[in-house]
Amino acid sequence: MSRKARAVLCRELNRFVVETITVDPPKRGEVTVKMGACGVCHSDLSAANGTIALPLPLVLGHEAAGVVAEVGEGVTGFAKGDHVVFSFIYMCGKCRFCVAGRPVLCLEQGKALTTPLEGTPRVHDAAGKPLNIFSGCGTMAEYATVSAENLIRIDPKIPMECGALVGCAVTTGVGAVFNTAKIEPGSSVAVFGCGGVGLSAIQGARIAGARQIVAIDTLEAKLKMATGMGATDVLAVQQGEDIVKPLKKMTGGGPDYAFECVGSGELAGAAYRAIRRGGTAVVVGVAKPSDNTSVRSMTLVFEEKTLTGSYFGSCVPSIDFPRMLSLYQGGSLKLDELITRRYSIDEAPQAFADLQSGKNARGVIIFP
């Protein structure tokens, strides 16, 4: 059946509106989910300010968990009442990257980027006009109809708001450490930016046995949160200030690994310059399309440094989501502590203002 839903939309750049939309029932291979919680990620903000260019009008939201309300024809993996976390990358399961266990590189992911796989929108505004959905999800809404491949079933004992965070920030940050960098125990690690993603990278480094974890941010409050997540040292910086020198000093010549979790070409370059010989800099933040990062080419050779990127923590959602949640259930991965404020859907514009001013570790929209 067709459902009415309050939803957060971006119709024009830099503006958030909350409207009542219509969500169509699932077609073949699709599932309708009643939302439980949706995190407010910087990538949603980036879609609304044009850093991530997606067609407008757009229903925002991708970091979410909910309960299956209806399944479409041919869906065998889910039943009404199942608890699920959304995966914001469509994975075909058949292309050479999916088959090789690297589904974040799926060749088909673009096909379910702003609609379900079938290609036509399942959401319409009050005037009946079709709406796009953020990264195959559009979960800042009371209901969402998505491709079944965008969902992972979870233990119903997991609180919705914790499940939601696993759908982006946590898997992105922890996965960058576990899967992309595969850090060695006893390493020295630096994390640039202590939002939901950076704080998760810090936790990943702690769990992986890093000896030193330096948290870097422009906001003192964020550095305090970072210490609570496992940072051993903190570095407060001003916007535009050179961090390479103090970081090298603090780490006795440079960290073994640096994770850029802000979204700046310049900081990606700083992360690369800061790492020691043989070190690895991982770019996790999504920079503006006009940003560039330059490195002195000879350092790649004589210092054997690596500069790489990490998309969605190089994860395999069906393996990594349960892995993150078992670390949470075992007490080593702090998820409740990452949530510093809860909002109703009508408070979403405030949630974005708070994200922009850096008030929260993570803000989460909770659905009744």
Ligand X SMILES: NC(=O)c1ccc[n+]([C@@H]2O[C@H](COP(=O)([O-])OP(=O)(O)OC[C@H]3O[C@@H](n4cnc5c(N)ncnc54)[C@H](O)[C@@H]3O)[C@@H](O)[C@H]2O)c1
Binding site for ligand X (CB under 6 A): 41-43, 46, 168-169, 172, 192-198, 216-219, 222, 237, 239, 261-263, 267, 284-286, 310-312, 355, 358
When asked if residue 355 is in the footprint of Zn ion (CB under 5 A), the reply is no
Contact 104, 88 (CB under 8 A): no
When asked if residue 64 is in the footprint of Zn ion (CB under 5 A), the reply is no
By a kind-dependent CB cut-off of 5 to 8 A, residue 106 interacts, out of ligand X, Zn ion, none, with Zn ion
CA distance 23 to 39: 20
How far, in Å, are 147, 285, 309, 360 from residue 207 at the CA level?
Answer: 33, 21, 21, 23
When asked if residue 69 is in the footprint of Zn ion (CB under 5 A), the reply is no
Match 């310049």 to its residue by tokens: 266
What residue type is assigned to position 339 of the chain? I
Match 């009008």 to its residue by tokens: 57
To ligand X, the closest distance from the beta carbon of 157 in angstroms equals 26
In the complex with ligand X, the residue whose CB is nearer, 136 or 193, is 193
Stretch 108-127 residues interacting with Zn ion (CB under 5 A): 108
Q: How many residues does the chain have?
A: 368
Among 10, 21, 52, 106, binds Zn ion (CB under 5 A): 106
To ligand X, the closest distance from the beta carbon of 150 in angstroms equals 15
What is the b/e burial string over 291-308, where b = at least 16 CB atoms within 10 angstroms of the residue's CB?
A: bebeeeeeeeeeeebebe
CA distance 51 to 198: 19
To ligand X, the closest distance from the beta carbon of 236 in angstroms equals 9
When asked if residue 92 is in the footprint of Zn ion (CB under 5 A), the reply is yes
The answer, yes or no, to whether the previous bond of 130 is cis (omega within 30 of 0) is: no
By a kind-dependent CB cut-off of 5 to 8 A, residue 116 interacts, out of ligand X, Zn ion, none, with none
In the complex with Zn ion, the residue whose CB is nearer, 106 or 364, is 106
In the complex with Zn ion, the residue whose CB is nearer, 246 or 309, is 309
In the complex with Zn ion, the residue whose CB is nearer, 108 or 266, is 108
Q: What does 193-259 look like in DSSP terms, one character per residue?
A: --SHHHHHHHHHHHHTT-SEEEEEES-HHHHHHHHHHT-SEEEE--TT---HHHHHHHTTS--SEEE
When asked if residue 54 is in the footprint of Zn ion (CB under 5 A), the reply is no
In the complex with ligand X, the residue whose CB is nearer, 23 or 48, is 48
Tokens for 261?
């979790």
Q: Which of 100, 270, 248 is nearest to 192 (CA)?
A: 270
CA distance 116 to 137: 8
By a kind-dependent CB cut-off of 5 to 8 A, residue 92 interacts, out of Zn ion, ligand X, none, with Zn ion
By a kind-dependent CB cut-off of 5 to 8 A, residue 239 interacts, out of Zn ion, ligand X, none, with ligand X
Using CB atoms, what's the residue nearest to ligand X? 195
3-state SS, residue 166:
helix
By a kind-dependent CB cut-off of 5 to 8 A, residue 334 interacts, out of Zn ion, ligand X, none, with none
By a kind-dependent CB cut-off of 5 to 8 A, residue 150 interacts, out of ligand X, Zn ion, none, with none
- x/- letters, 1..40, toward Zn ion (CB under 5 A): ----------------------------------------
- x/- letters, 279..308, toward Zn ion (CB under 5 A): ------------------------------
To ligand X, the closest distance from the beta carbon of 226 in angstroms equals 9
Q: What is the largest CA-CA distance in the chain?
A: 63
To ligand X, the closest distance from the beta carbon of 5 in angstroms equals 24
To Zn ion, the closest distance from the beta carbon of 317 in angstroms equals 13
Which one of the spans 64-72, 139-147, 166-174, 304-312 is the region binding Zn ion (CB under 5 A)? Answer: 166-174
CA distance 324 to 219: 27
Q: What does 256-325 look like in DSSP terms, one character per residue?
A: SEEEE-S--HHHHHHHHHHS-TT-EEEE-S---TT------HHHHHHS--EEEE-SGGG--HHHHHHHHH
Residues that bind Zn ion (CB under 5 A): 41, 43, 63, 92, 95, 98, 106, 108, 168
